[in-house]
Structures are given as C-alpha cells and as structure tokens.
Amino acid sequence: MTKFLVALESFVKDIMQKENLPQRALALLLACILWLYVSIQNNPITERSFDVHLGQLNMPTNMTVYNAPQKINVRVRGSRTVLNKKEASDILATVDFKNVTEGQQKLPVKVKTSIGDVIAVNPKEISVYVDTISDKTVSVLTRMVGSASEDLTLGNVNIKPQMVTIRGATHRLARVNKVVAPVDVTDKSGLFEAESELVAVSDDGYDIPNIVITPQRVLVSAVMVQQMLTVELPVELVTLGELPTGMELKEYKLEPTKVKISASPSKLKGMTVIKTKPLDISKLVESSTPIVELDLPEGAITDSRIVKAHMNVAKIDSEPQRDSVADGKLEINTGKEKKHEAKN
C-alpha cells in the first residue's frame, strides 16, 4: 500500500507539470478513484455482532426489576480494521427507568457507539416486572439435610439468632413467613454445633430467590436423639406341634386382633404383622383360651404384650350317623361326607 501511494504521488506531480489543465484534472480524478478502490479492497466495509451488557439507568432506590436480560445483541457496520480491534465494552446499551411505575413494563433499549453504524439491536425493547422493595422480621426454623442413621433424628435445637430481617420485592416478600437453616446431620450423633446459611421459603416449602437475609448465617446447636415410630399392626398366631389324634380346630379368635407398637424405624422395617410366640397345641383336647405372649423386637413398646387365643377344639366326628328316613329307607352320611358337603 505504501509503494502504491508513493507511485501515485509521483504520477500526480508528473501530470501537474504538464501544460494541459483538463488532462491534469482528469488524471487527478482517476488517481483518486484508483486510491479509493485500493483502500476499499484492503480495508472493506463489513458487519460484526457484539453481545453487549445491558445497563440500567435512573432506577428508583425503593424499587427493583425482574426478568431484565443481562446482555443484548448489537450489530454494527464499519471498516474491517476498526471493527476487528473493538470489543463489546466499546458499545453502551442502556434502559432508562426514570418515572417507571410498579407492574409489568415494556421499555426501549438505547445504544451508543463510536466504532461504526448500529444497524440492528436485539431485542429493541424489553419486558420487565417492576416492584417496590420492603422488609420484615421472620423466625428461623431448621431443615434436616444429609443422611443420618435411620434410627436418629434432631432433638432439641437452639438457633442464634432466632429472628432475622428479610428484604426484597414486595410481592415475593408476601410469600415468605419464615426462613430455614439447613442442618447437615450426616454422621452426626449426640450434641453438635454447626453454622448454617439461611434460605427464604414459602409456606408450601418452595425456596424464594432474590431475598436478602440479615444476618445471612446463624449458629445451630442441636442433639441427635433416638427416633421412635408408632404403627398399628394385626396379630398373627404362631402354633407349635399338632393337635392330639382325633381332635380338630374348628376356629380360633385372637383378642385383641390388632396392637399398637412403638419402636425404632430399623426394627419396624418390613414388619406387616406382629407374631405371637409359639403356642403348643399338642395337648389341646378341648376348647380353651390360653394367654399367648407377643414376639416383640427388643426395646419395642406396645399397648399390650399378650393376647388371648380363643381356641374352639372338638373331636372329629367319624362315626356314621342317621340323618333322615325317606321312603322307608335309611340314609347314612359319614362325618367325612358331611365335611365334603359343607365345603361344596
């Protein structure tokens, strides 16, 4: 490019020394056109897109905005040499919140730059929600997180401080009546202390973001205690041996049929019934109501540790018996046949 300019300068001087003025002017015009053409070929006009930070102007101190994008896209036209040397920080993109009111708003995006011509802005306007800022005082509760022993749970808990101040958008603050201090109970036992970072939550348990909590952290002193669950389960009779020969069990009934049991979760795990200790029926020759102990897990608490087993025991009727007389003929049914008929 430098050699071309030197040659062009020499050509212009040579032409200017000639006497024919029109020829001189034409030569000068041609030289300028040629210079412009070479310049464009070496540094053409081009376009480039920039992701630009979107700033906020004149936001009232008692208001806040939601859903505003962090960046927008700006397309600029200019010489390739200039655009290649520039960054997104050379472009200023802003939204003016002067005189804005509470609620949903659509506001234009304004762009300024000295590196070329702005040919496109995306988006040209933004849709945001503007809300007032307020604060209030709420209590702190604990939330157990992590993996503790299934038989342990949080007992007495002391939180310092027990009350904190929360600040944020009014419509979000209305949903927050408490903050939660998560307590990691993994491998914890007995007394322990831990710092916890607070989280604002709604009454239905959802975390509410963009809420400033003061102070942000609290000290939690807690103790892990043995956990007890209470369930009501049916009682199942367990028998030992067989009835004496010639005897049969017509029916039996337990009293009570269900029992409430309290025990640690690990001991209740998988239990669907409470079994009795084995009742020896090998000597039952008549109906009786023996008292049977329940077979309970160690440390379990129940509203009854025994049940009554009402056992209806009778002799098997195997002798033929006369049931009826029809047409002068005696019909004989055996006990076995009666049993069969009863089943059918």
Summarised one tens digit per residue, pLDDT across range 167-195 is 999 988 999 989 999 999 988 889 999 99
The position carrying tokens 């490019």 is 1
The position carrying tokens 């200023």 is 92
- Single out the residue of 137, 177, 183, 186 nearest to residue 157, CA to CA: 183
pTM over 0.95: no
Contact 181/142 with Cβ under 8 angstroms?
yes
| Residue 149, pLDDT score | 83
| Residue 114, pLDDT score | 82
Backbone φ, ψ for residue 172 (5° rounding): -80, -40
Contact 211/173 with Cβ under 8 angstroms?
yes
Contact 110/94 with Cβ under 8 angstroms?
yes
| Residue 341, pLDDT score | 34
Average pLDDT, the chain: 83
Q: Strand, helix or coil at 35?
A: helix
Q: How far apart are the first and last CA of the chain?
A: 115
DSSP state of 90: G
pLDDT under 70 in the chain at which residues?
1-43, 318-344
| Residue 305, pLDDT score | 94
